Amino acid sequence: MTDVQAKRLMEMMDYAPLSYYLEVSLPLFESKKSSPIKLAEGDIIKLPMYKLEVRILDEDYGVIAQGDYGIYNDTPSILIESSQEKLKNSIDNQKYKKFRITLGKIKREELDHGKVITLHQDTRYDAILYRDDTVVAYAHLVQVDQKIALQIGEVK
């Protein structure tokens, strides 16, 4: 293989998507490493929001778009509000634990403003709670005092 062919192949690989799906997540939140969080089945975690504003994440968990979660034609879906360049989530890993709440995945496609994309979710739970990329719990979306909340269904 000539150097030109090898270089062209490497360029093509840089543009090839690593995954067919993108992760849909709530904004990251953090907890001090010195204060452990204990979760039990049935616990309710109130989220500081009235509607589910979500982030579309790539393989490196960089935010590439934002949107709103909702039901469209009886199917959980994401309405794309804005696309943006890849941003890294900045949390000080020395002092804080990262928590990510994933609602599901969407197919990798153009993320144009106003586009509605079907969300693919776990059939038993609406959300998965991760701490530092490790599954901590599975949860259902509920509403408490007109705010969105998670009810823990299974703890890992």
Would you state the pLDDT for residue 3?
A: 74
Would you state the pLDDT for residue 4?
A: 77
| Mean pLDDT, residues 109-124 | 86
Among 27, 99, 22, residue whose Cα is nearest residue 68: 27
91 pLDDT tier (thresholds 50, 70, 90): very low
pLDDT in tens, 48-70: 777 888 998 888 788 888 999 98
CA distance 69 to 75: 11
pTM of the model: 0.74
Would you state the pLDDT for residue 111?
A: 82
> Between residues 30 and 86, which one has the greater pLDDT?
30
Contact 136, 39 (CB under 8 A): yes
Q: Assign 3-class secondary structure to the chain.
A: CCHHHHHHHHHHHHHCCCCCEEEEECCCEEEECCCCCCCCCCCEEECCCCCCEEEEECCCCCEEEEEEEEEECCEEEEEEEEEEEEECCCCCCCCEEEEEEEEEEEECCCCCCCCEEECECCCCCCEEEEECCEEEEEEEEEEECCEEEEEEEEEC
pLDDT at 152 over 70: yes
Number of other CB atoms surrounding residue 83 within 10 Å: 15
Contact 78, 116 (CB under 8 A): yes
Residue 147, phi then psi, degrees to nearest 5: -120, 155
